[in-house]
Structure 1
Amino acid sequence: MAPQRTHSLLLLLLLTLLGLGLVQPSYGQDHMYQRFLRQHVDPDVSTGSDGYCNLMMQRRKMTLHQCKRFNTFIHESIWNIRSICSTANILCKNGKMNCHEGVMKVTDCKETGNSKAPNCRYRAKASTRRVVIACEGNPEVPVHFDR
C-alpha cells in the first residue's frame, strides 16, 4: 500500500508543478527556451557597448565557426520577458501567429563586417524599443527573437 501512495503523491506533485508552469512538458520546447535565454537574455546589465557585444557574443558561443551578423540582448528579468507571451498574438516574420510584442531595454550587436571567427567584432546600439518574440508551449515561454 505504501508504494502506491508514494506513487500517487509523486504524480500529484508533478501535475501541480506542471500546472504552475515550473516544469516544462516538452524537451523540444525546453531546448528552444534554453537557447533563447543563452542568445538573448542578460538581465544583469542595463546597457551595452562595443566591448560588451564582443565579449558576450563570444561568451554565449555565437562566434565559434562564423560571426553571427546580428544579435539582440534583452536587459530585463526573465519574468518581464515571459510576460510578453501573455499579450495578443501577432504575425511573425515566418508567417506563424505565435509572436507577441512588448517594449524592453536592449542592446543590438551588429557585426562590423571585417572580422573573422572566433575574433568577431561588433558595434553596439543600446535602446529601449519594441521587440517581437515567438512563444510556444503551455505555459507559453519565449523560444525565438523575431525582431
Structure 2
Amino acid sequence: MFWQGTYSLLLLALLALLGQALLPVAGQKAMYQRFLRQHVDPQGESGSNAAVYCNRMMQARKMTAQRCKAFNTFIHEPIYLINSICSTDSISCKNGRMNCHEGVVRVTDCKETGGSRPGNCRYRAQVSTRRVVIACEGDPKVPVHFDR
C-alpha cells in the first residue's frame, strides 16, 4: 500500500514537471504565430498604394480594433528567409536580452497619422529595404518579437 501511494505521488510529480517543460514551447508557438500575423506579408505592396496597404493590413491583421497601433513593420520576404535571420550572431535587444538577431529585408513601415479612431485608423507608409532586429527563441530558433 505504501509503495502504491509513493508510486502515484512520483507519477503525479513527473507529470507536473513534464507539463511545465511543455509550457514554454506552447508559449513560443503562440508568440511565433503572433509575430507572423503582425509582421510578415511576403507578397506586400509598394509604391503609391503603400498608405492604402497599411490601412488595409493593419485592420485585417487586427491591430486597430481596440486602439490604433502607433507603428508597425511588415516584412516582405519568404518566411524561410525571415526564420534564417535567427541563425545569425546574437546581439543585444532593446530590453538588454541577448536573443536578438539582425538582417536586411524589404519592409513597409506603417505609422499612424494621429487623430485616428479605433476601427478607422489611418496610416502613412514608408517602403524600403533596411536592417531589422528580431528576437528569436526556441529550438530551432524562430522569430517571436520585432525589436527594431
The TM tier, using the shorter chain, reads 0.7 to 0.9
SS in 2 for 1:26: helix
- 2:50–2:127 contact (8 Å) kept in structure 1: yes
Instruction: Name the structure 1 match of 2:103.
Output: 102
Count of matched residue positions in the alignment of Structure 1 and Structure 2: 123
SS in 2 for 1:34: helix
Per-residue displacement from partner, 1:41-85 (whole Å, max 9, x unpaired)? 000125360000000000000001100000000000000000000
Residue of structure 2 in register with 1:61 after alignment: 62
Which ranges of 4 or more aligned residues in structure 1 deviate by more than 4 Å?
A: none
1:107-126 equivalences in 2 (<5 Å): 107-126=108-127
Q: Distance in 1 between matches of 2:116 and 2:66?
A: 12
CA separation in 2, counterparts of 1:89 and 1:33?
Answer: 18
Question: Which residue is equivalent to 2:50?
Answer: 49
The answer (yes or no) to whether the contact 1:115–1:121 under 8 Å persists in 2 is yes
Partner of 2:4: none
What are the within-5 Å matches in structure 2 for residues 78-97 of structure 1? 78-97=79-98
With structure 1 as the length reference, what TM-score do the two structures score? Answer: 0.82
The structure with the largest helix share of the pair is 2
**Higher Cα Rg: structure 1 or 2?**
2
User: Offset of 1:87 from its aligned partner?
Assistant: 0.2
Q: Distance in 2 between matches of 1:126 and 1:37?
A: 19
Where structure 1 has 5 or more consecutive residues not aligned to the other structure, the ranges are: 1-24
| 8 Å CA contact retained: 2:32, 2:143 | yes
User: Is the aligned partner of 1:77 residue 2:78?
Assistant: yes
What pairs up with 1:131-142 in 2 under 5 angstroms? 131-142=132-143
After superposition, the C-alpha distances for 1:66-125 in whole angstroms (9 at most, x for unaligned) are 000000000000000000000000000011000000000000000001110110000000
Contact 2:45 2:53 (C-alpha < 8 Å) held by counterparts: no
The residue that corresponds to 2:19 in the other structure is none
Q: TM-score, normalised by structure 2?
A: 0.81
Matched, 1:40 2:39: yes
